[in-house]
């Protein structure tokens, strides 16, 4: 993928020359985030050590805006790179990332052990608990394993769980609904549903999603269909303004907000977190669209090969990662 990598490098270089502070190397300082606005949350944030979270049982509600689909750094010998995870999380906190989504598709979570998952969640809690909501991917085919991973996330201090529609087995709509309702009925963590037909080969209908959204423990949806017309269709079926709609498609995420969405769960935010936060949260949507236009090629190039290979390559070129190593079957 030499041509593609050249394009990616050019995109990253152009943005670097544009002076975006998001492209600086991850800082080592422990600056407190100014994002937690309420007095109660500020007290919690100040009580948290950068190394030892004292508020593991406090749930920080999911926010509107830019959520990074966080990559998992690996060392050359294929171990999780704990110091780089810490650096990147600190960078996201200081860059204004609104939610941290750990252990999702982009994190290569399917290739991580439960022990590795525990370490990554623990580092996330140590570095960001009380500052930025921690959304943990806990979805898979087997509900038993979904519950196991969600219990682990809760016990370690996560704020919410991202549950994907079961892939490969092609459940009918009634089973997809029951899968999400079961996860919510466990009453472990607030649930964000994840609808991604391109990977799961099943598409939860708007009616099924709206039915699930009536459950008080289901607080949001990550929609990776790329179909912008579904935002308003879903809002017509479920009008609760507090239910969060996140785009899972970077190239259409800005327009997703314009259509009534609340934010994105973004691969591009691994590269330009401050820019993605600005695009997702600007009240003046015309200005947001203008800011997003130069990123359209980058959005596309980051999916020119299997995710997260292109994103990791760019991050290595930028000095954010010491290695673009992925777990097999990726390379």
Of 184, 189, 181, 208, give the one whose Cα is nearest residue 60: 189
Q: Is 168 a catalytic residue?
A: no
Q: Say if residues 138 and 102 touch (Cβ distance below 8 Å).
A: no
How far is it, in rounded angstroms, from Cα 8 to Cα 124?
Answer: 28
Phi-psi region of 201 (alpha: psi -120 to 50; beta: other; left: phi over 0): left
Tokens (6 digits) for 163: 């549950």
> Which residues, 6+ apart, have CB-to-CB distance to 312 below 8 Å?
71, 321, 324, 325, 326
Concerning whether 312 is annotated as a catalytic residue, the answer is: no
The residue annotated as part of the active site, out of 222, 246, 312, 328, is 222
Contacts of 113 by beta carbon, 8 Å cutoff, 6+ apart:
none
Q: Which tokens go with 296?
A: 């359209």
Q: CA gyration radius for the chain?
A: 18
Could you write out the DSSP letters of every residue in 2-33?
HHHHHHHHHHHHHHHHTT-GGGSPPP-S-PPP
Peptide bond into 60 cis (omega under 30): no
Q: Spot the catalytic one: 129, 154, 194, 246.
A: 194
**Is residue 202 a contact partner of residue 171, using CB atoms and an 8 Å limit?**
yes
Which has the closest alpha carbon to 87: 128, 59, 53, 57?
128
Q: Which residues are catalytic?
A: 194, 222
């Amino acid at each position: 993928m030499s041509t593609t990598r050249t394009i990616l490098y050019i995109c990253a270089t152009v943005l670097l020359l544009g002076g975006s502070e998001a492209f600086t190397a991850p800082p080592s300082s422990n600056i407190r985030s100014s994002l937690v606005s309420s007095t109660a949350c500020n007290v919690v944030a100040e009580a948290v050590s950068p190394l030892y979270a004292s508020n593991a049982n406090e749930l920080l509600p999911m926010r509107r805006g830019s959520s990074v689909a966080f990559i998992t750094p690996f060392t050359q010998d294929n171990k999780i790179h704990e110091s780089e995870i810490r650096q990147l999380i600190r960078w996201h906190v200081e860059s204004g990332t609104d939610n941290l989504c750990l252990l999702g598709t982009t994190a290569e979570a399917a290739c991580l052990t439960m022990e590795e998952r525990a370490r990554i969640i623990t580092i996330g809690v140590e570095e960001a608990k009380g500052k930025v909501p921690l959304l943990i991917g806990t979805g898979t085919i087997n509900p038993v394993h979904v519950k196991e991973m969600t219990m682990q996330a809760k016990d370690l201090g996560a704020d919410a769980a991202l549950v994907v529609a079961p892939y490969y087995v092609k459940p009918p709509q009634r089973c997809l609904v029951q899968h999400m309702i079961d996860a919510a009925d466990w009453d472990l963590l607030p649930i964000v549903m994840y609808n991604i037909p391109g990977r799961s080969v099943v598409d939860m209908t708007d009616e099924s999603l709206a039915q699930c959204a009536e459950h008080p423990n289901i607080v949001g949806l990550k929609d990776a269909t790329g179909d912008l017309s579904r935002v308003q269709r879903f809002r017509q079926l479920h009008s609760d303004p507090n239910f969060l709609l996140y785009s899972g498609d970077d190239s259409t995420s800005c327009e997703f907000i314009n259509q009534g969405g609340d934010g994105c769960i973004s691969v591009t935010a691994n590269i330009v977190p401050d820019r993605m936060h600005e695009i997702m949260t600007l009240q003046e949507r015309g200005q947001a669209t203008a800011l997003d236009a130069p990123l359209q090629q980058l959005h596309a190039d980051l999916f020119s090969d299997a995710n997260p290979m292109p994103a990791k390559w760019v991050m290595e070129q930028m000095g954010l990662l010491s290695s673009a190593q992925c777990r097999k079957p990726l390379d």
